[in-house]
Amino acid sequence: MVQNIKMEEIVHQDNLPAKIILQTLAGDTSRVPPHWHKDIELNLVQAGTSISIVDGRQSILSPNDINIINSKKIHYGDILEDSGFIKLITIQWDYDFFLRYCPDFPQYQFSLDNREWIKPKLRELILKIADLHQSTIPYCEMKIYALLLELGSLLLEHCLETNPCYQDYDLARKIEQIQESIIYIEENYSRQISLAEIAHHVNMSPAYFSRKFKQFTGINFYECLTLHRVQKARDELLNTDQTITEIAFNNGFPNVKSFIESFKKIYHITPKQYQKAHKC
């Protein structure tokens, strides 16, 4: 039985049950490997277009679109190459905030499917929260808290649906096993690891693990492993004086050619070109 699954920890702002982020992401800063967290995440796209994958379900997000990432859902996203960037407002909301008002909350999750009528009101509230977040007016945190209460009450009243993992133990356990495999990748990306090794680690056959990993993340095991390696290598390119060869071997690439090809596939330029363009 997989236990003690690690999640991304989100630090909320003082006096608020949420972290509010106004951000513009370019292609070279947006590619984060599949991850999950306990908080509820709400995103409003203001500009640009991106792909969002949540538990293997892919959707295209355009300006004015809203998406909700429920608690512990494996997710990641990427900016469409033609878009170049995405501007969005993100609210990462304390799970216990909802549990406080809805004791049965673990049985449910949020969905905006077939609820187009409520989206304009949600957008209006999110934009008000964003404006106040940038404001220095007195007691703006109290005003934000009031808007969070209004926004949360709308979601609880109109957007709940049954959480399929609540009563389906087999489904919940499979998702935990895939989460555990992502942790294994995070902890072992710097060495050579195989699909068979990681499948054994989570007590699945290689073929079955491969299917379930793609089902719940939207990408295959090797794509996820490469994303982790390239992201870590990118950090070393910007923050160390190591050579391209050293960085390649530090992060599990079998040779420099493999590193350059993987890096170009994600960032569309070579590691050296990226380093020259971004390193101070």
Give pLDDT tens digits for 19-57: 999 999 876 666 778 999 999 999 999 999 988 999 888
* pLDDT < 50 stretches in the chain: 1-4
Give the Cβ contact number of residue 107 at 10 Å.
13
CATH classification of the domain holding 226: 1.10.10.60
Q: Say yes or no: 109 and 63 in one domain.
A: yes
Which pTM value belongs to this model?
A: 0.86
End-of-domain residue from the set 164, 192, 218? 164
Q: Decide which of 130, 148, 164 is a domain's last residue.
A: 164
3-state secondary structure of 164: helix
- Whether residue 5 lies inside any domain: the answer is no
206 is a domain residue: yes
How many domains does the structure of the chain reveal?
A: 2
Take residue 169 and report the two structure tokens written for it. 């133990």
Q: What is the pLDDT of residues 154-193, one digit of tens each?
A: 999 999 999 999 989 999 999 999 999 999 999 999 999 9
CATH at 70: 2.60.120.280
**Quick check: is 219 in a domain?**
yes
Indicate whether 92 and 185 sit together in one domain: no
159 and 179 part of one domain: no
**Which residue, of 164, 179, 214, is where some domain finishes?**
164
Integer angstrom CA distances of residue 128 from 41, 92, 122, 154: 17, 16, 10, 15
* The pLDDT value given to residue 33: 86
What is the domain range of residue 150? 18-164
Q: Is residue 42 in a domain?
A: yes
pLDDT, residue 97, reads 94
CA distances from 257 to 186, 241, 244, 262, 279 (A): 22, 20, 10, 9, 22
> Are 154 and 215 in a shared domain?
no
Residues 159 and 193 grouped into a single domain? no
